Amino acid sequence: MEKPSLGRLEVICGPMFSGKTTELIRRIESARELGSATLAIKPTTDNRYSSYDLVTHTGQRIQASAVLNAAEILALVGELRISKSMKIVAIDEAHFFGEELSQVCATLLSWGFRVIVVGLEFDHRGDVFEPFPALFTLSNDTTRLVGICSICGNRAIHTQRMNPSMQRIVVGGVGDYEPRCEKCFAPSRG
Ligand SMILES: [Zn+2]
């Protein structure tokens, strides 16, 4: 009988414009150079720039599959598992998937995958996005990236929403959000 192998979880988090997707693409590309195929996944709610690519704010891109929710990640991986070279599952915009993502990651780890999860740790109120506390407990390697505060230039860990909105998740890019340090961040009330 095959010995069950355990996977590895890497979490990359930080505010918008801190280079998270750039770091994810860098890890995917170096794994591909070593011969490991990667399934890159993003939520369908994010249709900025391109529907099926992971795209950084500076225009780097990598092909990705779009799913509606965390459960679909397992279904997709299940379908593609016949390919033995597929060893890595990369999940961008993890905050869109909610609490359910941590259970999905635990399952992927039990299947032996290297899982790389990327997303915003804090929302526009400064509260932690649900999947992250649970992901941190599963994580083998956590990278917290910081941006540059748009007001004072210090280390930014928050994402300031520039347009008032009641929704917790609003997709946007340059102009809609700014990186802010803890001192300059003004939590939205919505
Ligand atoms: Zn500041």
How would you classify residue 146: left for phi > 0, otherwise alpha for psi between -120 and 50, otherwise beta? Answer: beta
Report the phi/psi class of residue 3: left, alpha or beta, with left for phi > 0 and alpha for psi in -120 to 50.
beta
Mean pLDDT value across residues 44-65: 72
Distances in whole angstroms, Cα of residue 49 to Cα of each of 76, 82, 88: 23, 31, 24
Between CA 190 and CA 181 the distance in angstroms is 20
* Residue list, CB under 5 A from ion ligand 1: 149, 151-152, 154, 181, 184
**CB-based contacts of 57: which residues, under 8 Å, 6+ apart?**
17, 21, 173, 174
Cα–Cα distance measured from residue 141 to residue 27, given in angstroms and rounded to the nearest whole number: 13
List, by residue number, the catalytic residues. 93
pLDDT digits (tens, 9 = 90+) for 127-174: 999 999 999 999 999 999 999 999 999 999 999 988 766 566 666 666
Q: What is the distance in A from the centroid of ligand 1 to the CA of 23?
A: 24
Q: Rounded to the nearest whole angstrom, what is the distance from the C-alpha of residue 155 to the centroid of ligand 1?
A: 7
pLDDT tens digits for 8-52?
999 999 999 999 999 999 999 999 888 888 899 999 865 555 557
Domains and CATH numbers, the chain: 8-147 (3.40.50.300)
